């Protein structure tokens, strides 16, 4: 279900949908987290993903944009180059989440960033329940 449409069904329902989408995204990155890690604070509108030491998030974002036409947010200030951001508030549904995770996994592989494959499969498994 598209989150922006769910707002008409009530604020509580919209928040529940945003959290559901976030949990699916989180499930994907739980599998990816070695060596990529998540920040310790979570948001239902944005996920920041920290890159492993020695890998630049902005370089990864460029690989993903150039090869897959998918734009990810950059880290700001102290985390510039260390994290990329995925926004998931508003018109963002399960299929978009799946595509985003697939694009990130494809980009990580193309950029030579070490990661544990299978995040997209974990997210798909969670979202299909």
Number of domains in the chain: 1
For the segment 72-98, what is each residue's pLDDT rounded down to a tens digit? 999 889 889 988 888 877 777 888 888
**Across 56-77, average pLDDT:** 95
Cα angle 91, 95, 76 (rounded to 5 degrees) comes to 60
* Residue range of the domain that includes 7: 3-127
Q: Label residue 53 by pLDDT band (50, 70, 90).
A: confident
How many Cβ atoms sit within 10 Å of the Cβ of residue 25?
Answer: 26
pTM of the model: 0.73
State residue 4's pLDDT score. 42
CATH number for position 45: 3.90.1150.10
């Amino acid at each position: 279900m598209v989150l922006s449409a769910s707002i008409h069904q009530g604020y509580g329902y919209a928040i529940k949908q945003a959290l559901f989408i976030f949990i699916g995204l989180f499930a994907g990155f739980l599998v990816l987290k070695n060596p990529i890690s998540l920040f310790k604070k979570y948001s239902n509108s944005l996920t920041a993903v920290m890159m492993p030491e020695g890998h630049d998030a902005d370089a990864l974002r460029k690989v993903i944009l150039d090869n897959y036409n998918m734009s990810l947010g950059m880290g700001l200030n102290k985390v510039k180059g260390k994290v990329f951001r995925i926004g998931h508030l508003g018109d963002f549904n399960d299929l978009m989440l799946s595509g985003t995770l697939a694009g990130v996994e494809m980009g990580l592989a193309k950029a030579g960033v070490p990661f544990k494959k299978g995040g997209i499969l974990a997210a798909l498994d969670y979202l299909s329940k």
